Chain A
Amino acid sequence: MLRINNLHAAYGKVEVLHGISVEVPQGKVVTLIGSNGAGKTTTMRAISGMIKPVSGSISLNGKDITGMSSSKIARAGLAHSPEGRRVFATLSVTDNLLLGAFPRLTFGRERGDVPGDLVRVFDLFPRLKERETQLAGTLSGGEQQMLAMGRALMLNPAVLLLDEPSMGLAPLLVAEVFRIIRELKARGITMLLVEQFAAAALEVADYGYVMENGRISVHGPAGQLKNDPAVREAYLGAAH
């Protein structure tokens, strides 16, 4: 499980996270919601080591990972499916997925059953199986999103970070992405989810944190947040 304690982070001189504490228990799905610029993506980037925290601590399964490099954090079992997908455009779908398992490689030996995991990812995303030899850059937006998620799963991660998995996707595909998240949850994968569709995110999550200007303003069980009038008005919109 993942525990973030009093995390401060900055871009250059400008501090954007002012003491974030978040806990993601084993086997649970936790969501971070909040408006633009609240610091959700920054939190994700700080957790996976893409930016170095100013202070505070992050631990994964009891092991302190604060300030470690991204590649070491990935080796420690944390997978990040980044905002905007970032697939390796000039590599095939299969190569993209196998690169996801790269941190499991030590001195030429793989931990666990990588070929088996590849089969399992293809089971989860049949569309990717159909396109296994195609270059990732030629996939549609929805397929690239699935590839980014599949690539993260190839790490066989202890915790999976999903940043805006539904961004820029057609309504049909948004539904598909949430179906997959539910499926992953059923398989017991621990997840931290950032989503623009706050209502849908709270639907699938066990617990939620609301971020405002780099701080956690409210947190609680997802069902409770969903019915909180302040949260409803500010983040869920009138439509829900």
Chain B
Amino acid sequence: MSLFKNIAAIVAIAVAASLPTMWSNPYYIHLMVVIGIYAILLLGLDIVVGYVGEVSLGHAALFGIGSYTAGVLGHSLGVPFLLTIPASIVVTAIFGAILALPALRVNGPYLAMVTLAFGTIIQILINEMDFLTNGPLGITIRKPIYFGHHISSADYYYIVLAALVMTLFVVQRILKSHLGRAFEALHDSPIASDCMGVSVYGYKVYAFVLSAGIAGLAGGLFTYSEEYISPNTYNFELTILFLLAVIMGGRKTRIGPILGAIIIVMLPNVLSDIDLFRKIAVGIAAVTVAYSIYVIATKQRSFKQMALPLLATIALAVSGFYIQDITGQRLTIFGLMILFVVYYLPNGIMGFLRGILLRIRPQWMHRHEVILEHGDKQHVWSVPDHPVTARGNLLEARNIVMQFGGLKALNEVNLEVKKGTVHGLIGPNGSGKSTMMNVLTGIYKPTSGEIEFNGKHITGATPSSIAGEGIARTFQNVQLFGEMTAIENVLVGLHHTYRHSLLDVVFHTPRCRREKLAARVRAASLLQFVGLVDLASEEARNLPYGKQRLLEIARALALNPSLLLLDEPAAGLTAPDIKELIGMINKIRGHGITVILIEHHMDVVMSICDTVTVLDFGQKIAEGTPAQVQSDDKVIEAYLGGTAAA
């Protein structure tokens, strides 16, 4: 598959390189240059839209900033092409950071609004700052001259093609690395990302700045291809067009953005030629009719399901013969296309093709080989035991108060956890156990009180920095990265072991390869430990509930924690599974990892806990050995009931 991909890539580049010899018409060459430039920008936009899952309406403005950086530097200061392009990248990345730092504190529709406002402001600024940008009159700049040779349109095509191939290569490397995995993870479950030490905010800004830098490159190249830039180009319609292209081409693919660029550049040309439009509309209608007959005949779809697309494409073809001036209907056509794509191709053209491919060749779905011989005992996860020398307290929480409105979920709770022990935390539902977990891991900031971990104050620290200190956790409502495979989930937990930089990723240095391999081996050994190695390439959301809980434990252990918080690990497990779980927790303790365990299964609590703390209505009502707690009258009344465990 990998060889096939490489050959396909080389053939594609060769074909792209030979295109100008086939179409030497300058108009076509210019179109291909614009396609290349848009494709570069879309590759960057896909990082934000596809991977991080945020909508940016500011990319036309970022594109404009790149253009004007090159334009102003080249026109007013006479800076050469080879310097203006890197300057475009850097300046736009800085603007991206200025936008991202405040904007990414919000998300969803708010982020879309903030980026939209940014786009409007930038367009106005370009218009008004006459002294720099020459205002609405725009800037004229010629293509550069090198070695006495004036770069022609055809030459410029090769420059853009080289830049596109480079961008494609860099983006591919980044997205297949731990950085790309972090982007996907924070989109899938922000709370779990933070608790795995992958700061959601930090990586969102990172992704946005990368994306902005790439938009800057595209913008700089655009200046020299057009030889004239003016503020009107970088308007709202362009930003929408970019989004449409990414979604229509297919998010989270490398070919999708290129397809998208081809569509948005070619479409206005198709629409301006009414005869061509008629032919294409009839063609689409014919294909749809044929496809519908096929799926209805093979009973994959009912006639009712296919009626709308059939009707719509036929209506489009017929209306093509009535309308004389199609350019006026351009926005209508775009709108219809968005509707069609969102409704019938939610994963874009590439997503659709990939779906077909996987139906024919399902074995291509397995993206990762697991580096491990099955049943190889010496590869089961282990850590250099944290020797428990001093038996002091690993964690001390003092007078913790957590108030939600008028409700005190935790009221002056003290918790001391000794090194190397399993500390049980029990109590009725709603007594504040999970709140305590969230306070300890930084998801909630306590109203008052302080927490000391390993002699360090961690009160009010962010979840990702607390994870970095060595506190790992699982979640009561499973928080896996659902669309990632089991082993990828564990690899997110191993994020802290990747010390190499962005440049290492791009150049695939030995250091990068070494760390990648080490992480894979370690991830496989962790899966082996929880007994999930056979399911390593299964998507986490397809695992049964109990196995998802085990995967969370493996992911938490990947952080190499000194304190592990388990929130109801036995929920949904049957009696034999619970026995295995008990064995697992004992082994974890055997490695010197301290455990805090929230659990309702009394057999689990009683058999492995050294100390048990009982909460009720946010207050500690008892603490002691399991036996002491079990015979405590208050605990029996509030929690256990007369007959003890069911």
CB within 8 Å of B: which residues of A? 11-14, 33-37, 41, 83-84, 139-143, 164, 166-175, 178, 196-198, 200, 234-239
Closest 10 CB pairs of A and B: A140-B430, A237-B575, A36-B546, A37-B544, A141-B429, A140-B429, A172-B641, A174-B646, A142-B429, A168-B571
* Structural contact, B577 and A36, CB atoms closer than 8 A: yes
Name B358's closest neighbour in chain A (CB-CB).
Answer: A13
Contact with A along B474-485 (1 / 0, CB 8 A): 001100000000
Interface residues of B (CB under 8 A from A): 362, 426-430, 476-477, 542-547, 568, 571-579, 600, 602-603, 638-641, 643-646
- Write out the residue numbers on chain A whose beta carbons fall within 8 Å of the beta carbon of B430: 139-143
Asked if residues B575 and A235 are in contact (CB atoms below 8 Å), the reply is yes
Inter-chain contact A36/B573, CB cutoff 8 Å: yes
List the B side residues contacting A172 at CB < 8 Å.
Answer: 428, 638-641
Contact B429 A171 (CB under 8 A): no
Contacts of A168 in B (CB 8 A): 429, 476, 568, 571-572, 600
Residue of A nearest to B550 (CB): A36
Q: Bound complex: CA of A142 vs CA of B576, how far in Å?
A: 25
Q: A13-B362, A175-B646 are in contact. Are A235 and B574 (CB under 8 A)?
A: yes
A237→B578 CA distance, assembly (Å): 9
Assess whether B542 is in contact with A11, with CB atoms less than 8 Å apart: yes
Whether A167 pairs with B641 at a CB distance below 8 angstroms is no
Asked if A41 and B544 make an inter-chain contact with CB atoms under 8 angstroms apart, the answer reads: yes
Closest to A234 in B: B576
Q: How far is the CA of A178 from the CA of B641 in the complex (A)?
A: 14
Please determine whether A12 and B542 come into contact, CB atoms closer than 8 angstroms: yes
Given contacts A11-B542, A84-B477, A239-B603, contact A175 B643 (CB under 8 A): yes
Find chain A residues with CB under 8 A from B603 CB.
237, 239
Considering the complex, give the chain A residue whose CB is closest to the CB of B641.
A172
**B644 touching A171 by the CB < 8 A rule?**
yes
- Assess the B546–A166 pair: CB atoms within 8 A: no
B639 touches A171 (CB 8 A): yes
Contact residues in B for A142 (Cβ distance below 8 Å): 428-430
Contact call B476/A236, Cβ cutoff below 8 A: no
CA distance A41 to B574 in the complex (A): 14
Tell me the bound Cα distance from A167 to B641 in angstroms: 17
> Which one of A12, A13, A14, A170 contacts B429 once the chains associate, using CB atoms below 8 Å?
A170
Are the CB atoms of A236 and B646 closer together than 8 Å?
A: no
Instruction: List A contacts of B641 (CB < 8 A).
Output: 171-172, 175
Question: How far, in Å, is A81 (CB) from chain B's closest CB?
Answer: 15
Min CB gap B377→A, angstroms? 24
In the complex, which residue of chain A has the Cβ closest to the Cβ of B637?
A: A172
Q: A41-B544, A140-B429 are contacts. A171–B575 as well, Cβ < 8 Å?
A: no
Chain A, Cβ-Cβ closest to B644? A171
- Cα distance, A12 to B426, chains bound together (Å): 39
Contact for A236 among B544, B575, B639, CB less than 8 A: B575
Chain B residues with Cβ below 8 Å from A166 are: 646
| B646-A170 in contact (CB<8A) | no
Q: What residues of chain A lie closer than 8 Å to B477, measured between beta carbons?
A: 84
Known pairs A168-B476, A170-B428, A178-B646; A37 contacts B362 (CB<8 A):
no
Inter-chain contact A200/B646, CB cutoff 8 Å: yes
Which residues on the A side are within 8 Å of B645 (C-beta)?
171, 174
Give the residues in chain A near B429, CB-CB below 8 Å.
Answer: 140-143, 168-170, 173
Whole-angstrom CA separation of A200 from B575 in the bound complex: 12
| A5 shortest CB reach to chain B, Å | 21
B462: shortest Cβ distance to chain A, in Å?
A: 25
What are 29 A-B contacts with C-beta separation under 8 Å?
A: A11-B542, A33-B574, A34-B574, A35-B574, A36-B544, A37-B543, A37-B544, A37-B546, A41-B545, A142-B428, A167-B572, A168-B571, A168-B572, A169-B600, A170-B427, A170-B600, A170-B639, A171-B644, A171-B646, A172-B638, A172-B639, A173-B429, A175-B643, A196-B571, A197-B646, A198-B574, A200-B646, A237-B579, A239-B575
Known: A36-B573, A141-B429, A237-B578. A171 touches B602 (CB 8 A): yes
Nearest Cβ distance between residue B555 and chain A, in whole angstroms? 18
- Measured in the bound complex, the distance between the Cα atoms of B362 and A139 in whole Å is 44
Q: B572 contacts which of A164, A173, A178 (Cβ < 8 Å)?
A: A164
Per the bound structure, the CA–CA distance linking A142 and B638 in Å amounts to 14
A36 to B600, Cβ gap below 8 A? no
Give CA–CA (A141, B476) in the complex, Å.
11
Q: Evaluate whether A196 and B573 lie within 8 angstroms (CB atoms) in the complex, with A166-B646, A168-B476 already known.
A: yes
The docked-state distance in angstroms from the alpha carbon of A33 to that of B575 is 11
- 9 more contacts with CB within 8 A, not counting A36-B545, A143-B430, A197-B646, are A37-B543, A83-B545, A141-B429, A170-B426, A170-B428, A171-B644, A174-B646, A175-B643, A239-B575
